Structure 1
Amino acid sequence: MTDLRHGRSRKGQGGAVLPGSGIAGGLILACGFLAGTIAGSFMALVAARLPLRRTIVGGRSQCDTCGRILGPLELVPIASFLALRGRCRGCSAAIPASTWVMELLAGIVGLLAVLLARTPADLVWAVFGWLLLLLAALDLRHYWLPQRLTALLAFTGIVALFITRGDVAASLAGGAAGFLGLEAVRIGYRLLRGREGIGGGDPLLLGGIGVWMGWQALPFVLIVGSLAGFGLIVIWKLRGADVGPATRLPLGACLAIAAIAVWAAAARAPIVPLALL
């Protein structure tokens, strides 16, 4: 990754080098995707149960409609959904498509983490992507960014900072700038308009993103996130939705998807130095 502030490479020249080539490289990539689908299966479970305050780690997986305990072959990410044609084997109730979508997206994140890694330590970026996918799913469905998850994002960013020997100053500045900047906008909007315009979880989310990516990446995340929000509004309008000034927009989801996109772009072509690379 080229550090634009110093004009030099921090971990060598060129693109990612971890996967290699040939059969071994293909196996490494496949493992990255498989690990991602497994993580996505767990995240889909969390996204479904957390809003209902149901236990996440306790008990065996079961059909939400008939309560039948699922067998091992029914828990294989993506493949089980396809084999069962999207329906429970016991009661034929539809399995939420969000399950395989989350598994697929998390698999892609795992694949990207392997493709973009320059050293094994850089694989920790997969955790960044997976947490953002989970937060995006909760914000899209419930307009909710649980504080425990945004705190986990920031905490894992600090842990990853030491694993990858990243830029401590840029990371801490990114966390502070992300949270304080958006929090100031949130408070200012409330004082001027007399109502909430930005949720309390959004500044915490941007702060966590800043810890992982550094302050230099935040403008790119905000720009891409704004474009994502505009695109979402266009989609809603095309589908006939009544969109107006009071329409709620999942800002957190837009920022999360933008952060994944900026990470992938910056890791592949150094448009901005990332704190952990």
Structure 2
Amino acid sequence: MSGNVGLLLACGFLAGAIIGSFLALVAERLPQGRPVVGGRSQCDACGRTLGPLELIPLFSVLVLRGRCRGCGAAIPAFTWIMELLAGVVGLLAALLARTPVDLVWAVFGWLLLLLAALDLRHYWLPQRLTALLALTGVAALFITRGDVAASLIGGAAGFLGLEAVRVGYRLLRGREGIGGGDPLLLGGIGLWMGWQALPFVMVVASLVGFALIALWKLRGVEVGAATRVPLGACLAIAAIGVWAAAARVPIVPLALLYAS
């Protein structure tokens, strides 16, 4: 590996880790209705305002040994896990980029990571974020000069296909089986990746869902017909996995999202 390539990958990971710190903040504050921009970061346990040296992604948690410098409370694992995974996404974008404009794909991975975290933790896919995924997909299509037909068909097929399943289930069973944000999410994925990727995303999402259920059972959680499975998180993780498969990059670290 040449020095330039190594530097690019390191920069991709570092940029991702910085973005991941912000994504963790958004994932914590958005469900609480708190503003995601503005305000100083504080320790959740003692409320002490954190200093600059305590806010360096990944590095700070290592230096502080995972505990607040003031009260000694454990730093939530979710924060550094999001930093690590976002760093991996940034590295992946740098690894797959054939031209500088291809680095825009990092936005795709970071948005999916945030949506997966929100769905795993709160069973919630905010419409503003699924819409942002779709809008950035359209923008990336023109930035990278991608296949317009494949992307537009992918967006329509992803949304309409899953929406039809959602409506059909509700009519047959008389209750909701799929959340309204899931079709929007799959439509956004289709816009980014094109219709050709959707079958692979669906298959991998099913495998992720089965793995999640198996993990619940191993933990002693009772699983039945009424058990809620975060389909959006499965789709988001699957999309990142299909994207990563282009470079044969392992995606095992994504399991850390659930562990957090």
Q: When the two structures are superposed, what TM-score results if normalisation uses the length of structure 1?
A: 0.88
Q: CA deviation at 1:266?
A: 3.3
Aligned to 2:92: 112
Write out aligned runs for 1:116-265 (5 A).
116-265=96-245
Q: Which has the higher contact order (CA 8 A, sep 6+)?
A: 1
Q: CA deviation at 1:268?
A: 5.8
Deviation by residue 1:181-209 (Cα, 9 ceiling, x = unmatched) = 00000010011001110011100100000
Aligned to 1:6: none
Distance 1:266 1:112 in 2: 10
State percent identity of aligned pairs.
82
Q: RMSD of aligned C-alpha atoms?
A: 1.2
Query: Stretches of 4+ moved more than 3 A in 1?
Result: 266-269
Q: Name the aligned partner's letter for residue 32 of structure 2.
A: L
CA 1:268–1:169: 2 relative to 1, 3 Å:
farther
C-alpha contact 1:172 1:214 (8 A) present in aligned 2: yes
C-alpha contact 1:145 1:201 (8 A) present in aligned 2: yes
Distance 1:87 1:50 in 2: 24
Query: For structure 2, which runs of at least 5 residues remain unmatched after alignment?
Result: 250-260
Write out aligned runs for 1:95-110 (5 A).
95-110=75-90
Deviation by residue 1:121-152 (Cα, 9 ceiling, x = unmatched) = 11111110000000000000000000000000
Q: Name the aligned partner's letter for residue 21 of structure 2.
A: S
C-alpha contact 1:222 1:258 (8 A) present in aligned 2: yes
Q: Name the aligned partner's letter for residue 162 of structure 1.
A: F
Partner of 2:201, secondary structure, is helix
Write out aligned runs for 1:32-47 (5 A).
32-47=12-27
Distance 2:246 2:65 in 1: 38
Partner of 2:246, secondary structure, is helix
Distance 1:267 1:198 in 2: 32
C-alpha contact 2:95 2:247 (8 A) present in aligned 1: no
C-alpha contact 2:116 2:236 (8 A) present in aligned 1: yes
Distance 1:150 1:234 in 2: 28
Aligned to 2:49: 69
Query: For structure 1, which runs of at least 5 residues remain unmatched after alignment?
Result: 1-20, 270-277
Distance 1:92 1:256 in 2: 35
Partner of 2:34, secondary structure, is coil
Q: CA deviation at 1:267?
A: 5.5
Distance 2:29 2:66 in 1: 19
Q: Name the aligned partner's letter for residue 248 of structure 1.
A: R
Q: When the two structures are superposed, what TM-score results if normalisation uses the length of structure 2?
A: 0.93
Q: CA deviation at 1:22?
A: 2.3
Distance 2:182 2:176 in 1: 12
Count of residue pairs the alignment pairs up: 249
C-alpha contact 1:116 1:268 (8 A) present in aligned 2: no
Deviation by residue 1:222-242 (Cα, 9 ceiling, x = unmatched) = 000000000111111111110
